[in-house]
Amino acid sequence: SRAGSPSLVTAVIIGVCIGFLPHNYFPAKIFMGDSGSMFLGLLLAASAITLTGQVDANAISAENSGPTLLPLLLPFAVLAIPLADLSLAVIRRLRSGRSPFTPDKEHLHHRLLTAGNSHQRTVLIMYLWTATVAVPVTVAAFAPLWIAGIIAIFLAILSLTLVKTRRSLV
């Protein structure tokens, strides 16, 4: 199928990132840097665009729109937490009369650290928040919506439990 190349690129990137993660987890032994992460983002964006461009518009119907829309929805789902953090930072800074480009220590990860979470736990919480949005979007593309809802509720409860308990689990 024509979706082979973008799917293969995405699978390779996922494999590389999973292999790299133990070395980049706190305390990091290797740091990818801006250029490496931007290159990965470029490859993933190009794969999503290529895959979306190959969708047959005649094949889209109410019954089977999930797999067709997944390349469009999943990047937004994965980026929901960073985009929310960015939006909150801009609004917070503008309301206080500062430039939106002024740095501060009020980002979500700073707040989690200030609340007493370790670096590892903060990363885990933010991974769970992202999974709470992205996994149900992916599941909803291939399974009934109620299953995606149950998964979303489970992940939300798990992440809230992790945020509320102060004892270090990680």
| Burial class of residue 63 (count of CB atoms within 10 Å of its CB; 0-12, 13-18, 19+) | exposed
- Among 54, 84, 99, the domain-final residue is 54
| Same domain as 20, residue 88 | no
Domain residues for 2? Answer: 1-54
| Same domain as 104, residue 132 | yes
Lowest mean pLDDT among 15-19, 51-55, 123-127: 51-55
Domains held by the chain: number: 2
In this structure, are residues 24 and 30 in contact, taking their beta carbons and an 8 Å threshold? yes
pLDDT digit string (tens) for 27-62? Answer: 778 877 778 888 888 887 777 777 666 656 666 666
